[in-house]
Amino acid sequence: MNKPSLWSTAGLAGLIVAALSACGSLSEAVQPSPVASAVMRYYENHASEQNGRCLNPYMDALTGVDVVEENEGRIVVDARYFYRDRFMDGGESLGVECADFGQRRFTLARDQGGVEVLEMSVPGTS
């Protein structure tokens, strides 16, 4: 069995660093957009799922964001996401597993200061 040499491992690491440098910093590459950040933050502070059985959900991942309407001061998006619950994550508690896909419509206000969510639909509606 051949172990990778130090040179091949270092060479691979060098290629990864070079590729990241060409694309900008890694932290810039994975930063969500202002709209996505606002949607995720608002959802975490205001949402519940499964008819109120999952009271502390957060978006583990946005799987899609479609702009429905956009003008100078307002943006409406349909967001699809995978959620988990902070206290019932990854298992069943009282027969409820709080991890699933969802979809909601978000209405955001936009100004020079950024974006802010004004309204969020109930689960599954757009």
- 20, part of any domain: yes
Measured CA to CA, the distance from residue 65 to residue 60 in angstroms comes to 14
* Strands 99-111 and 114-120, sheet pairing: antiparallel
- 21, part of any domain: yes
Measured CA to CA, the distance from residue 101 to residue 30 in angstroms comes to 22
Measured CA to CA, the distance from residue 125 to residue 105 in angstroms comes to 7
Task: Using alpha carbons, list the distances in angstroms from residue 29 to 25, 58, 81.
Answer: 6, 22, 20
Please report, in tens digits, the pLDDT of each residue of the chain (126 residues total).
454 444 444 444 544 545 545 555 444 556 789 999 999 999 999 999 999 989 999 999 999 999 999 998 999 999 999 999 988 755 555 555 889 999 999 999 999 889 999 999 988 666
47 and 107, same structural domain? Answer: yes
93 and 50, same structural domain? Answer: yes
Tokens encoding 73: 């001061």
The contacts found for 91-95 with CB under 8 angstroms, 24 or more apart, are none
pTM: 0.70
69 and 98, same structural domain? Answer: yes
H or E element that contains 23: helix 6-23
